A and B are shown apart, each in its own frame.
Chain A
Amino acid sequence: MSWVNAIIQGILTGGLYALFACGLSLLFGVMRVVNLAHGDLATVAAYIGIGIIAITHVPFLWSVPIVVAIMAVLGYVLQRSLIQAAISRGELTTLIVTFGLSIVIENGLLQFFTANNRGIGVGSSLISSSFSIGSGLQIAWLDVAIFGLAVVVLLGLQYFLSASKYGRLIRAVADDREAAQLSGANYQHVFGICAALAFATVALAGISYGMTTVVSPTTGTDTILLFAFAAVVIGGLGSLWGTLVGGIVLGVSQQIGAQINISYELLAGYIVFLVVLVIRPQGLTARRSQT
C-alpha cells in the first residue's frame, strides 16, 4: 500500500512541478529565453503573498489574484525593459542577465526577509485537511487542489494560445518574428504579454509552494528552478502538456526514491532526469515546440 501511496503522492506533486515548469517552458518556447531567475520570481510571489496577508489581513484567497496581477505586470515590465534589451544583444546575454537578476532577487530577499523560512498560512480548515481512501492512504486536499489548479492553468493557457487573438500572435511570433512584424505585430509587445502570462503562472507556483511547505530566499534556485528545469526537460522543451507529464514523472520518481530510502528522494528524480536526457533528449512528449 505504501507504494501505491508513493505513486499517488508523486502524481499530485507532479501538478506542483508542472506549475513550476509551464512558465519556464512558455518563455523558452516563444522567446528562446532561459529564465534563470524563474525560481526566484516564484519565491518573490510567495513573499508578496505573505506580505499582503500580514499587512492587510485579507483572507488568503483574496491575496491570490492580487499577487497574480502584480507578477503579471512585473513580467510585462521586465520583458519590455531588461529581458528585451538582453534578447536584442543575443541569446547568451539573456542567460547572463537572468542569472544576474536571480542573484539580485535572492540577496534582496535575504536583506528584507532574513534567511528564515516562512510559509503562507492557509486559513481554511478544508484545504489543510486530508481524506483517506481504503486503509492507510492519506491524501491532503491541498495537494489535490494544487494538482487541479495546475490542470486548470494548463487548460487555460492552451485555450488562450489556440483560440485568442493574442495567443495566435504569440505562436506566430514564436514561429517567425520578422514575418509577424510584416503583418503589423509589435513583437516586443507580444513578448511582453507572453511574459505577463508566464509570470502569472510563476505567481501561482510560488503561492502553491509557499502553502505546501515553507520558502526561504534561496528556495527559488535550489528547489523551484531545478525542479522546473527537470520537468521541462523530461516532458519536452516548449510543450505545455509536456510539463505536466514531466512534473508527474519527476514527482513519482522522487516519491519512489524516498520509499526505498528517504535520502534517495532528490537523487531518484535527477537520475530519471539524466536517463531521459540521454535516451530521449527531445523529451517524453516528442512533438517539437507546441507553443
Chain B
Amino acid sequence: MSTSATGASGQQRAPLLDVRNLIVHHGQLRALSGISLQVFPGEVYAIIGANGAGKSTLLRTIAGLHYPTEGQILYDGRDVTRMRPDKRATAGMAMVPEGRRLFPSLTLEENLKVGATFARSGPWTIERVYDLFPWMKERRGQKTAQMSGGEQQSVAIGRALVANPRVLLLDELSLGLAPVIVQRIYGMLPQILSSGVTVLLVEQDVSQALRVATHLQCLLEGHSTLEGRPADVTAEQVEAAYFGMGGHHAATASAAENIAAEGSEA
C-alpha cells in the first residue's frame, strides 16, 4: 500500500494513537502546553521543531517514560496515560530512543534478542532484520559499542522491530549521523511500513521529515505552531512555525485551522 493513500483514507478509521491536550512538566518547567495529535494506521506522522521545542518529551511521554500533568493518551481506543512503559511496549508500542540506547555489554544479536523477548506475534523476526540489514549477520557476535553511529541506529531500529510493534516511535534518527547515513536509514522506511507498522517520528531535520511524512506537526517551546499534510503547507509556513518568527502565533494558528478544515473536507 502506498503511504499517501492510507494517509487520506485513514481519516475515516479510528486513530491508533490519540493524544489529547497533553501538558507535561519537567520539575517546575512546563515542557509541553496542551499538545494533541491523532495518528491513523499506516501513517508516518512527523513532529518537527527546533532544539528544546518539546519533541522528545512528547515522544517519551507517549512511550510512558514521563507521565503528563494533564491530558490523555489513547492507544487503540484504550486509555494508556498511566500505564507503565513496559506494558505499553508489550501492547505494541515500540520506541527507538534518542541516542540509540543500545545495551553496550550485550552483543548485536543479544540486543535484538532482548527486543524479541516480549514480542507480539507478527512478521518481524531476528532473521528478517538481518535481511533488512545484511551486514548484521556477520557481525552479530560483536558488541555494539565499537560500531558506527549509523550501524548502532540500525541495531536500535532492529531491536524495536522484532517486538512487532503496531506503532513505532522514532526519536531523532538523524542525530549525530552523516547526511548520507541518514538518507540510507530513512530509505528503509518503506520496507518497514509495508509490514503494516505505523510510524510517529520526531525529527530536527525538517527536509528529511517532510520527505517521508504523511502528516506533520511543528512544535515551538511546547506549543503546537503548525499542523497538516506536507503537501498543504508552504515552506514559509514551516519556517515561521519552526523558528517562531514575526507574530507566528496568530498566523500559524489560523493556518493550522485552515489545514484542519481542508483535511476534514477531503
**Using a CB–CB distance below 8 Å, which chain A residues touch chain B?**
165, 168-169, 171-172, 174-176, 178-187, 289-290
Contact = CB atoms under 8 A, between A and B. Distances in A.
Interface of B: 63-65, 84-86, 89-90, 94-95, 97, 101-106, 110, 113-115, 117-119, 159-160, 163
A183 B115 contact: yes
A184 B102 contact: no
A25 B119 CA distance: 31
A181 to B, nearest CB: 4
Contact of A183 (B84, B105, B118): B118
A49 B104 CA distance: 40
Contact of B85 (A168, A171, A175, A181): A181
Given A165-B117, A168-B114, A179-B97, A184 B89 contact: yes
Contacts of B84: 181, 186
Given A171-B103, A172-B103, A175-B105, A184 B95 contact: no
A161 to B, nearest CB: 10
A156 to B, nearest CB: 19
B53 to A, nearest CB: 22
From B84, B104, B105, B159, name the one whose CB has the most chain A CB atoms within 10 angstroms: B105
A172 B89 contact: no
Contacts of B163: 183-184
Contact of A182 (B63, B105, B113): B63
A188 to B, nearest CB: 9
Given A168-B106, A172-B106, A183 B114 contact: yes
Contacts of A176: 101-103
B86 A181 contact: yes
A185 B64 CA distance: 13
Q: Which of A168, A171, A183 has the most CB of B within 10 A?
A: A183
A176 B85 CA distance: 14
A124 to B, nearest CB: 42
Nearest to B90: A184
A172 B101 CA distance: 11
A165 B160 CA distance: 17
Contacts of B85: 178, 181-182
B124 to A, nearest CB: 13
